[in-house]
Amino acid sequence: MDRRKISEDFFDEHPLEQLSTAQLTYFRMITIMMSDLEELVNETVISVMEESRHEQYLAEKERFMNLDKAEDIVSYMRKIKDPVNCSLLIQKALEYQDDVIPLVLKRLCKSGHDVFIENATVLIANADIKYTEQLYDIFPDIRNAYARSELCIVFGVKKKSEYTQLLLEQYALIKKERPDKDYEQGPLLALYLILEA
């Protein structure tokens, strides 16, 4: 499906929020892709940490930097506390992506854990394209609306127009399921990334 299949005024009628969970997740995705920016952001945050937080950050970093089993890495994707360490954990998971991502995809079908969902989304967006295709295959099995919302952003980052129909369906479905949240912004952001590029 391409741009011509969506009404001319779709984006006028469905504006993208400037600040949403989807936008924050997208920022995390692109900072990992831009290592200089990621390093600058992390250095800035680390430089102003209180001493107790800095000690916790270092202890947590040391624990997961030595992980070398896929199950342990996936488990840590739920437990990680300090946001600065998230990008380092994603880099670790990318080193073992052939073992880690199949486990992540399996857990995503049932998970409602926000931290895990967000880390999984950033991981898959930065992994080999074959995992985006596998995500598409399992998408009907993902129960949690927040997980579906976040994971839609992966399709937008990959900029493949064949995902447009799924994104339109998820936009309508999630908006209906969770009118109390901004979860529809995930598939909407993905549509913007694909069709307004």
Q: Which domain holds residue 173?
A: 3-195
Query: Full-prediction pTM beyond 0.85?
Result: yes
Q: Quick one: pLDDT at residue 96?
A: 96
Q: Quick one: pLDDT band at residue 1, thresholds 50, 70, 90?
A: very low
Sorted by sequence, the CB contacts under 8 Å of residue 95 that are 6+ apart come out as: none
Number of Cβ within a 10 Å radius of residue 51: 7
> What pLDDT digit, counting tens, does each position of 78-93 carry?
988 888 888 889 999 9
> What pLDDT digit, counting tens, does each position of 92-114 carry?
999 999 999 999 999 999 999 99
Q: Quick one: pLDDT at residue 136?
A: 97
Please name the helix (run of DSSP H) or strand (run of DSSP E) that holds residue 54, with its range, or none: helix 51-65
Burial class of 15 by CB neighbour count within 10 A (0 to 12, 13 to 18, 19+): exposed
- Tokens 């409602």, residue? 112
Q: What CA–CA distance (Å, rounded) separates 81 from 92?
A: 16
Domains contained in the chain, number: 1
Nearest residue to 171 (alpha-carbon basis) of 10, 30, 4, 2:
10
Q: Quick one: pLDDT at residue 4?
A: 46
Q: What CA–CA distance (Å, rounded) separates 163 from 127?
A: 17
Contact by Cβ (8 Å): 120, 104: yes
- Tokens 């479905």, residue? 173
